[in-house]
Amino acid sequence: RANLSALKTGVALAQTVLRFAGGAKIAVDGSVGDQTQRALASASPDIREQAKIAVKAVTGLNIDDLIPAVVEKLNDFGREVVPALITAAKSAGLIPEAVVAQVVLESGWGQSQLARQYHNYGGLKYNSVSSFPGKKPGSTQMRTTEFIAGNNVSVSAGFATFDSPRHFAEVYVWYLLSGGSSYRYRGIQRAATTKEYFEILKKGGYATDPEYVSKSEALVASVKMRYRDMLA
């Protein structure tokens, strides 16, 4: 009962703070407090789920993303990756928050193995970008999940590797607008909304997940809140 009370108090405080704090200032200290963390750790799974739903409804964020260790990783993503993406997107006439949201979905806020080890934040396949006219990407073989004939199937694929977030951002924009596959994404610079941007990507075959558009669109609010100063 004490843990439940502490959890409810912590969630209420988190909700209140998050209503007024945006961007990197997720909370006063950049995370949920110790009381909330202790309550979450000891609460039953259904109570934890209720807490996650409550915070998500108010903030658009997952409560797990507010735990200090996770927050630090997200801060690294915001410092190192997001500026490169936004700069490249603006220069190319793409919707910046759409680019960031898609990359967030592809890389799990930069925490996927492909992102952490190889700076490939968008799941770009090597064959799709091997003719990039600038510094050539490298390649690595990894397993991935594709949606094939109505089923999620694990397959091995060759992915591109990059030297830095900036290198990835440059190749990503080239892939969409100038690469050999760019005809599949015609009109993406004229996309009027983030949803239209994601629909063009999906129609062009960037991803096989049937829910790719809705999953990407669901991340836009969080991206706008976290990085609103950079997006301005």
- Distances in whole angstroms, Cα of residue 147 to Cα of each of 104, 151, 184, 207: 19, 5, 19, 9
- What does the pLDDT look like over 12-55, one tens digit per residue? 555 544 443 443 333 434 455 555 565 555 555 666 667 677 66
What are the structure tokens assigned to 140, written together? 């690595």
Q: Which two tokens stand for residue 97?
A: 């928050």
CA 153 to chain centroid, in Å, comes to 22
pLDDT at position 222, please?
84
Question: Of 34-38, 79-83, 92-96, which range is least confident?
Answer: 34-38
pTM of the predicted structure, to 2 decimals: 0.71
pLDDT-derived band of residue 6, with 50, 70 and 90 as boundaries? Answer: low
Domains, the chain, ordered by start: 2-66 (no CATH), 77-231 (1.10.530.10)
> Between the ranges 18-27, 69-78, 82-91, where is the mean pLDDT highest?
82-91
- Picking from 187, 202, 189, 198, the residue whose alpha carbon sits closest to that of residue 220 is 198
Give percent of the chain above pLDDT 90: 50
Three-state DSSP at 21 gives: coil
Q: Are 163 and 136 in contact (CB under 8 A)?
A: no
* Structure confidence at residue 156 as a pLDDT band (50, 70, 90): confident
What is the pLDDT, as a whole number, of residue 14? Answer: 53
* 3-class DSSP state of 68: helix
Lowest mean pLDDT among 80-84, 110-114, 144-148, 214-218: 144-148
Summarize the confidence of residues 176-185 as an average pLDDT: 94
* pLDDT, averaged across the chain: 81
